[in-house]
Structure 1
Amino acid sequence: MSRTRQLAEAAAAIDFESLGDAEIEAVRRLLLDHIGVAAAGSMTDSAAAFRRTIARFAHDERASLPVIGASTAAAAVPASMANAVAGHSIEYDDVHNSSSSHPGVVMFPAAMAATALAGGDERDLVRAVVIGFEVMCRAGRAADPASHYARHFHPTGTIGSLGAAAAAAAALGLDAGGLNSAIGIAATMASGSMEFLSDGAWTKRLHPALAARNGVEAGLLAADGYVGTADGIGGERGFLAAYSEAAVPDRLLEGWGERPLEVVDTSIKRHTCCRYNQGAIDALLAIRAAHGVAADDVDSVVIGIPSVAVDIVAEPAATKRRPASVVDAQFSLAFGAAAALLWGRAGLAEYDESRLDDPAVLALMDRVGYEVDPEIDRDFPQKWRAWARVKTRSGDTHYRWVDDPKGDPGNPFTDAECREKFDDLASAVYSSEARSAITEHALSIGAPGSWKALVDSLA
């Protein structure tokens, strides 16, 4: 039996009744977080442009979903794509450390579209999400994120297609053979380039939408009898062989039944920027709070990062210190550090075009450097540790090490913090009454009637 088939068999055996409180609560929190991020992201230019495009698509009333932030609905797949673009447009969506990916922004849109197409219910949705997370995150871990990045692939787009196919196949009611075939089809569709780092293009924001669409289409093809490869992930010419120089296929099933399901091991972001900046910003905020460091008293800042982060957030240094767009700023370690020290936060208000040429920001970014820390590399990607060292002009040196950035499984958001983040993000799109309803239904997903109630509340 191929490795992909073994993974498909294991994933297909997951049923709603087997899920514990931890798994269901994780799905609920991540669902609410996804909706909140998508609501705020729906106000970006990239999300608006995508909505203009889907307006050209045919609208099938038999299977439609709300387009978050647009007060309208669209056919299930185009709507899910629009929500995925919105959910990835402000760099605030969830993260799975050991696969270096954003699973929720792919899995919720894909599973919601497939559930709508199949006429399924909330139990089908939750099961599909959990199965999709398992396949996506395990494939990403097997691909070895550093090696996958070395080929200039964006994991959310590539492994997202695999997970979305599994989620869609599950929602469509396929058995392990159908799920395996769907993954095999999606493995030949997987894509996503890191070239956006060169010019701040919107292409990264499109990756989860394409992955969700690929997955749903792969699931539908498999449901209609289209035959996918038998070992789409682990085959001699399969996904791992093509997309990574240092793949570890055994990780596909490593620890199955012994470790928490991947949905439980997924982080919620505290700051609206690249995941590689999160720990560093936490460290600098802690130094600022503990020592009252004023930005104009900073002589130098050094951040400890993993080697894989260098050409994503730190180099070329001259470019990273002069971001020309919000996308550039989201992937600039120097900008994130300056935001933390200057304003005491790194949220939507800070990642704004008007802030990019602030003289105080420019001056502080020039004083931000980095070091690749072998100790951080040793535990990456299971842990995304970071540290910050700030030397002041008055002669003091302050240091802070961060083991678990806020929102990671080792330092999770509370329910109250999840609600607060959602309310803050969604307030510009939904009324107080609507936000209360969305929160109630998202945080009870899986309970009878919760799927229809959630869809109605998003309309």
Structure 2
Amino acid sequence: MTITRELAEYAAGLKSEAIPAEVTDRALALLTDLAGSAIRAAHDAESSPAILAMLERLGMTGEGPCSVFGMSRRFGAGAAALLNGAFGHSLDFDDTHADTSLHPSAPVVPAALAMAELTDASGPQMLAAIVVGFEVCCRIGMALDPTAHYARGFHPTATAGTFGAAAAAGRLLGLDAAAMESAFGVAASQASGSLQFLENGAWNKRYQVGEAAMKGLMAATLAAEGFHGSRDALEGRHGFFKGYSDGVVAERATAGLGTIWETMRIGVKPYPACRYTHAAVDGLLHLRQAHGWTAEEVSRISIGLHRNGIALVGAPLDEKRRARTIVEGQFSMPYAAAVALLRGGFGWDDYDLLGDAEAEALANRVNVWNDFSLEGLRHPFGATLKVEARGQTHELRIPDPSGEPDTFPDSQALAQKFTALTRPVSNSRDRDWLSRLGGLREAASVRQLMS
């Protein structure tokens, strides 16, 4: 059996009762975490008005059955999936799967939510579809090998995420294995996402993840209508694996399928920036609290990262030290370090330090280097620190950032993050989202719950 077919049979045939309760609970926690980011981004992200205006101009904003976090109006399924995906990813505060360096919820949850409302599915049906979508996109991401995928200039959340969105939507449409394979065939033609946004702090990263959610929805719907998609879309002669990576380990896509739950390996972000900055921020906050430093007392900071981290947040270093836009700040290790030392934390509102003279002076004292001791490890998100302050040198190694599965936040911490994000922009509908989403486990109708 081919890998594509095996994943298609899994996505179509996995029984909801075969999903452990802890896995379903984790899916709900991750959905809720994404919703908080999306609500804030709908109001605050500078890219959101342009996306809405584009949909308006193209006649895609007509009234429909589907919800968008942070908005009182309802949309057609495609527009809703695109908006929820783009909004959910815009703050770079959404979850991360360490083994793939991708953000599973942003493409998968919006596709599942839109299709659940479109088909009037139950809450448990939607949560099972989200789990299936997580498993598919994370496993495809592992098979790609994120380092090799990044080296080719691809953004795995948008590429592998398209397949996860198709799997989630296809399951809610009741696709059988053959139709699911067709959906994957269409998804392979649509999967896209470039890292070129790093060159000028562009908004592509946000949009291309929303587009992945919408494309997955479209791929599944085409298959449901009898569209004949390509076979062996992943491992075929001209398939996704061949075109998108030089380091494919195809068997990772199906190893432990149905017994090992990648959903449980998804972590939640404590800071609204690229995950490769987080371990260093954790370490700097720890040292700052332990020693009581002020920012001006820190004379030099040296941060060792995995090569993926260097590519995203550490090079070219002079440019990373001069972050001016939010996207540039989200992908700047020097900026994140400066915020941590100046503010004693790092939240969405700390992007007000962009262009601040004191923050930039501190960023100029940050050096980022490729720590080869972090290569070859299962997780690539660790960091090593050497900080010179008050005439002393302090060294620290942080193997994993906070929020990973071993330190996954409890429900109270997740609610605090949600509230901190949504309070500045919330209306009564937004404040109600936490309790509303908490009812998904028992909801007979997602559409009614969301209305």
Give the TM-score band, short-chain normalised. Answer: over 0.9
Distance 2:62 2:14 in 1: 31
Question: In the alignment, which residue of structure 1 is the partner of 2:373?
Answer: 375
Question: In the alignment, which residue of structure 1 is the partner of 2:232?
Answer: 231
Identity value in percent: 36
Q: How has the CA–CA distance of structure 1 residues 313 and 383 changed in structure 2, closer, same or farther, with 3 Å as cutoff?
A: closer
Distance 2:71 2:127 in 1: 25
Question: In the alignment, which residue of structure 2 is the partner of 1:269?
Answer: 269
State the Cα distance separating 1:12 from its structure 2 match: 2.5
Range with bigger deviation, 7-16 or 421-430: 7-16
Distance 2:310 2:158 in 1: 21
Question: In the alignment, which residue of structure 1 is the partner of 2:413?
Answer: 417
Question: In the alignment, which residue of structure 2 is the partner of 1:390?
Answer: 387
From 432, 436, 439, give the equivalent of 2:434: 439
The answer as to 2:364 corresponding to 1:363 is: no
From 402, 423, 427, give the equivalent of 1:427: 423
State the Cα distance separating 1:59 from its structure 2 match: 5.3
Which structure 2 residues correspond to residues 40-439 of structure 1 after superposition, within 5 A? 40-42=40-42, 43-56=44-57, 57-58=59-60, 61=63, 63-259=64-260, 261-352=261-352, 355-380=353-378, 382-392=379-389, 394-431=390-427, 434-435=429-430, 437-439=432-434
Q: How has the CA–CA distance of structure 1 residues 428 and 237 changed in structure 2, closer, same or farther, with 3 Å as cutoff?
A: same
Distance 2:81 2:425 in 1: 18
Distance 1:294 1:230 in 2: 60
Which structure 2 residues correspond to residues 4-19 of structure 1 after superposition, within 5 A? 4-19=4-19
* Runs of 4+ more than 6 Å apart: none
Distance 2:313 2:359 in 1: 16
The answer as to 2:447 corresponding to 1:449 is: no
State the Cα distance separating 1:58 from its structure 2 match: 4.4
State the Cα distance separating 1:438 from its structure 2 match: 1.6
TM-score by length of 1: 0.94
Identify unmatched segments of 5+ residues in structure 2.
Answer: none
Distance 2:445 2:393 in 1: 53
State the Cα distance separating 1:229 from its structure 2 match: 1.7
State the Cα distance separating 1:41 from its structure 2 match: 0.9
Distance 1:403 1:442 in 2: 33
Distance 2:56 2:123 in 1: 28
Conservation of the 8 A alpha-carbon contact between 2:162 and 2:216 = yes
Distance 1:453 1:346 in 2: 37
Q: Which residue identity lines up with residue 10 of structure 1 in the other structure?
A: Y
Conservation of the 8 A alpha-carbon contact between 2:149 and 2:156 = yes
RMSD between superposed Cα atoms in Å: 1.6
Conservation of the 8 A alpha-carbon contact between 1:441 and 1:450 = no
State the Cα distance separating 1:127 from its structure 2 match: 1.5
* Secondary structure of the corresponding residue to residue 111 of structure 2: helix
State the Cα distance separating 1:256 from its structure 2 match: 2.0
Distance 1:230 1:72 in 2: 39
TM-score by length of 2: 0.96
Q: Which residue identity lines up with residue 76 of structure 1 in the other structure?
A: A
Distance 1:152 1:317 in 2: 19
* Secondary structure of the corresponding residue to residue 207 of structure 1: helix
Q: Which residue identity lines up with residue 5 of structure 1 in the other structure?
A: R
* Secondary structure of the corresponding residue to residue 186 of structure 1: helix
Conservation of the 8 A alpha-carbon contact between 1:404 and 1:411 = no
State the Cα distance separating 1:437 from its structure 2 match: 3.1
State the Cα distance separating 1:401 from its structure 2 match: 2.1
Identify unmatched segments of 5+ residues in structure 1.
Answer: none
Question: In the alignment, which residue of structure 2 is the partner of 1:20?
Answer: 20
Distance 2:443 2:18 in 1: 17
Q: How has the CA–CA distance of structure 1 residues 19 and 436 changed in structure 2, closer, same or farther, with 3 Å as cutoff?
A: farther
* Secondary structure of the corresponding residue to residue 376 of structure 2: helix
Distance 1:163 1:333 in 2: 30
Conservation of the 8 A alpha-carbon contact between 2:170 and 2:180 = yes
Distance 1:254 1:407 in 2: 25
* Secondary structure of the corresponding residue to residue 405 of structure 1: coil
Conservation of the 8 A alpha-carbon contact between 1:306 and 1:376 = yes
